Amino acid sequence: MALIVQKYGGTSVGTVERIKAVASKVAAARERGDGMVVVVSAMSGETNRLVSLAKDICKRPDPRELDVLLSTGEQVTIALLSMALQEIGCPARSYTGAQVHILTDSAHSKARIRDIDDARVRADLDAGRVVVIAGFQGVDESGNITTLGRGGSDTTAVAMAAALKADECQIFTDVDGVYTTDPRVEPKARKLDRITFEEMLEMASLGSKVLQIRSVEFAGKYNVPLRVLSSFEEGEGTLITFEDECMEEAKISGIAFSRDEAKLTIRGVPDQPGVAYSILGPISGANIEVDMIVQNIAEDNTTDFTFTVSRNDFPKALEILKETAQVLGAREAEGDDAIVKISLVGVGMRSHAGIASKMFETLAKEGINIRMISTSEIKISVVVDEKYLELGVRSLHDAFDLAAESSE
Amino acid sequence: MALIVQKYGGTSVGTVERIKAVASKVAAARERGDGMVVVVSAMSGETNRLVSLAKDICKRPDPRELDVLLSTGEQVTIALLSMALQEIGCPARSYTGAQVHILTDSAHSKARIRDIDDARVRADLDAGRVVVIAGFQGVDESGNITTLGRGGSDTTAVAMAAALKADECQIFTDVDGVYTTDPRVEPKARKLDRITFEEMLEMASLGSKVLQIRSVEFAGKYNVPLRVLSSFEEGEGTLITFEDECMEEAKISGIAFSRDEAKLTIRGVPDQPGVAYSILGPISGANIEVDMIVQNIAEDNTTDFTFTVSRNDFPKALEILKETAQVLGAREAEGDDAIVKISLVGVGMRSHAGIASKMFETLAKEGINIRMISTSEIKISVVVDEKYLELGVRSLHDAFDLAAESSE
C-alpha cells in the first residue's frame, strides 16, 4: 500500500460538479489500495469574494483578521469534498489547518510551516479513511489562524507528504505537466516525464507557474517525490525527483523565459571600493529586488554597471538610479523595459561543455543581440530585446532538439 | 466598569453597512468605559447558501462535515466585525468557537456547551480590546467542530456571559423588546421593561420568538441578567431578570398564544390501568410531541382522552390514533386542527387568587367556548376555536389592564 498526498487547486474544486469529480478520482485511488490524504484550496472565486468583503470594510484589513476571514474558503471545500466522498461510499474526514496542527510562525498572510502533528491523520488512515485537509492555512503557537499566502496549498500538501513520509505528493492543476517550454510560444514543446528539483526550481522562478517555488524547495529539502498532473485529463504528468534517479540524461530539460524584466544601466561611475553597494543599496532600500547584475571596468578606470528588476519596479528604480548617478558623479543613468530573459535549464550542463557557446551561436545566427548574460550551475540566462522572445525560444528549442522524445 | 456581552443576529450583520453600524454601537459602549464581548451570527442568507451547497453534494450530509461547513459563516462575520472595529480606532480581536475553547458534547448540529475557558478573553479585555466571538459553534473534546443548532448564537452569548460573570448579556434582534402580547394582534400591546426568566420561558415556548428557549434557560440557571434590544432602534429593551428584583408586582406579565396547535380526541375507551400509555405510546413512538393532555372518566366507566400536537404532526397523529382506537375497542377517534392556544403568563399568579376565574369569565362574556384547560404555577392555557384568537387575546389584554404602564 502506497501513501499518496494529493492536492487540488481552486479551479479543480471550483463547482459542486468538479468537487464530485475529484471525489471519484480520490475514491478510485483508495480502491486501488492506496492511503489517501487530500489537500484542497478554496473554490475558485471564493478568496476574491472574501477579499472584496474585507475591502468594503477597510482599505488595509488587519492581517490577523484577514487570515481568519480567508481561511474559511478552504474550510468550505474540505467539508464539501468529505461529504462528496462519503456520498459515494468512501469514508472520509476533514481537518482545518488548526485541527491537524499545521504549526506555523506568526507572519500572517505569509506564514511558514514549522511543524505538523501527524498523529490524527495516521489514526484516520489506519482506520481506512481518506483525510481531507484545508490547504493554505495553519495555526501559530498562540492558536491564531495563519495563512501561507497565495499558492500555499501546494506547500501544505508537500509538508503533509514530508511529515507522513508519503510515497508521492501529487499536485493536480489545470496543466498536464511540465513542458520543455511554454507551448503557447513553441507549439512543439514536449511534456517532460521527469525533471529534477533543481531544474524545476529554475523553471518555476523564471515564470513557469506550474508550482509554487516554496513548495518545490520544501519537497526537495524533505525528499518528497512530487508529481504535477492535470485535474481534467488522464495522464502520468511530470515527476519531479532527485538527480540520480533521472534516467533521461538530457543536457537541457527546458527553456524558461520571463517577460517581467527591465534593465537599468549607470555609466562612467568612478571605480572605487564599495561602488556596487552605493548603486544597489538605495535600490534594495526601496524594497526593489535586483536579479541579474553585470559590471564592466572601462579603460578610463570608470565602471559601467547594469542590472535587472521586475518591470513594475522599473520607474521607481530608474528614478533612484538617476539620483545615485548625480551623487556618485557618474556620466549617465538609463533604462530599458522592452527586454526579456530567456534561460536554458538542465542539470546536464554540469558535465557537458559547449552548451553556452551553442546557445550564443544559435542566437547569433538568428541575428538576436545578447544584452546581458548570467550563468549558474544548471542555467544560462540571456537578456534580449523583447521582440526576439518567440524567435529566441523556438530557435533554441530546435537547436537543442527538445521536441524529440529523448533529447541529445 | 461594567462587563457587557452583546449578541448580534444574522439580520443585524447582514451587510457590510450593518456590520459597520454594529461596530459603531460597540465602540461607543467601549468609549463609555464598559468591557465589551460581542457574539455574532453568520450574515443573513449565508447559512442557507452553505446548506444549499451541501444539498447539491448529497441529500443527507454527514453531521460532522455539515458543522465544519456551517461554522465558516460566523467565522466570516467575526473577521469582518473586528476589521470594522479596528477601522474606527477600536482595538478588537476575533475568536472562533474552537479558539476560545467553547467545549461542547459531540452531538453535531445540536451540541450542548459544557465548559468555556475564559482566560484568553480576559487577557484581551484587560488589554482594552473588544473580543468578537463566533456564535453557534464550539469544539468537542477530540477537537471536532460542533454547532449548537439554529439560534445557538444566543446560547453562546449567555454562556460567555456566565463564564465571565458579565454584568449583562444583551441580545440585539429586530424587535425592541418583549411585549405583553403580539402587537400585530393587539395594537395596544405594551413593551415590558422587565420580565422574569420563568415568564420569559413560558412566553418563548408559546411562540414569542424573541429568544431561544435554551438561552433563556441557560441565563436563568447561571444568573445572567439578559436584555433584549433592537439593533436598529434606540431604547432600553426588556430586561429578563430574577423574580425578587422585579418591581412591577404585576399578576400577569403577558398573553402568549400559538396557532401551531391541533387537538385529538379518543372517546369511549374502556378504562383500565395503563390506558394513557396505550394511547400516547404509539404517538411518541412516531416522534410526535404531545403538549396538553386531558382525561375524563365517563359514567359508563369508559374514558374520553384529549391531547394536542403541533399542527403539521396532525395527519400522522390522527392516523395512529384511529388504529389505536380499533386496538383498544374505543368508540371513536377524531381531531380538529382549527384550534389555538391562548395563555396568561405571570409570576403574580402564585400569590393572587382568582386569575383563572377572571380569565374564564372574560372569555365567556365574549361567547368564546373553552375546549381545553391546562395550568401551571405561572401560566393558564386554554384551547379555543381558531376564529376566536384575536378576540380572545384582546379581551384578556383589556380585562387584565396590560396596556397600562403599571398593570393591576
Residue A255: phi, psi to the nearest 5?
A: -120, 115
Q: In this structure, what C-alpha cell is assigned to residue A61?
A: 484589513
Tell me the pLDDT of chain A averaged across its residues: 90
For the stretch A318-339, pLDDT in tens is 999 999 999 999 999 999 999 9
A83–B54 CB contact, under 8 Å: yes
Give CA angle at B201 (B254, B240), nearest 5°: 75
Distance CA B100, CA B69 (A): 19
Distance CA A199, CA A241 (A): 10
Strands (E), B174-253: 194-196, 226-230, 238-241
Tell me the pLDDT of chain B averaged across its residues: 90
Chain B CB contacts of A68 below 8 Å: 75, 78-79, 82, 94, 96
**pLDDT > 90? residue B28:** yes
What is the reported pLDDT for A407?
Answer: 41
The predicted model gives B350-363 an average pLDDT of 85
**pLDDT > 90? residue B97:** yes
Q: In this structure, what C-alpha cell is assigned to residue A356?
A: 553556452
Distance CA A18, CA A20 (A): 5
**pLDDT > 80? residue A230:** yes
What is the reported pLDDT for B408?
Answer: 37
Q: Which of A16, A69, A82 faces B80 most closely, judged by CB atoms?
A: A69
A96–B68 CB contact, under 8 Å: yes
A295 close to B (CB below 8 A): no
What is the reported pLDDT for A245?
Answer: 52
Q: How many CA atoms lie within 13 A of A343 on its CB side?
A: 27
Distance CA B291, CA B284 (A): 11
> Which residue type sits at A263?
K
Distance CA B94, CA B104 (A): 20
For the stretch B173-215, pLDDT in tens is 888 888 999 888 999 999 999 888 888 888 876 655 677 777 8
Predicted confidence band of residue A348 (pLDDT cuts 50, 70, 90): confident
Q: Which residues of A196-208 are buried (b: 16+ CB within 10 A; e: fewer)?
A: bbbbbbbbbbbbb
Q: Which of B68, B75, B87 faces A58 most closely, judged by CB atoms?
A: B87
Name which of A111-120, A198-207, B317-326 the model is least confident about: A198-207
Chain B CB contacts of A144 below 8 Å: 99
CATH entry 3.40.1160.10 includes domain B3-173: yes
What is the reported pLDDT for A151?
Answer: 66
Q: Which of A72, A79, A87 faces B76 most closely, judged by CB atoms?
A: A72
Distance CA B254, CA B250 (A): 10
Percent of chain B with pLDDT over 70: 95
The predicted model gives B115-123 an average pLDDT of 92
Residue with cell 499518496: A4
Percent of chain A with pLDDT over 70: 95
3-state percent helix, strand, coil for chain A, nearest multiple of 5: 40, 25, 35
Q: In this structure, what C-alpha cell is assigned to residue B3?
A: 462587563
8-state DSSP, A289? P
Calculate how close chain A gets to B31, using CA atoms only, in Å. Answer: 21
What is the reported pLDDT for A378?
Answer: 87
The predicted model gives A232-248 an average pLDDT of 76
Distance CA A254, CA A199 (A): 8
**pLDDT > 60? residue B248:** no
For the stretch A15-54, pLDDT in tens is 999 999 999 999 999 999 999 999 999 999 999 999 999 9
ipTM of the complex: 0.78
- CATH topology for B255-399 is VC0802-like (3.30.2130)
The predicted model gives A164-176 an average pLDDT of 92
Calculate how close chain B gets to A211, using CA atoms only, in Å. Answer: 28
Calculate how close chain A gets to B85, using CA atoms only, in Å. Answer: 10
- CATH topology for A262-336 is VC0802-like (3.30.2130)
What is the reported pLDDT for A357?
Answer: 87
Which of A304-308, B117-121, B392-396 holds the top average pLDDT? B392-396
3-state percent helix, strand, coil for chain B, nearest multiple of 5: 40, 30, 35
B64–A145 CB contact, under 8 Å: no
- The four Cα atoms A228, A231, A237, A242 give a dihedral, to 10 degrees, of 20
> Domain segments of chain B: what residues?
3-173, 255-399
A57–B80 CB contact, under 8 Å: yes
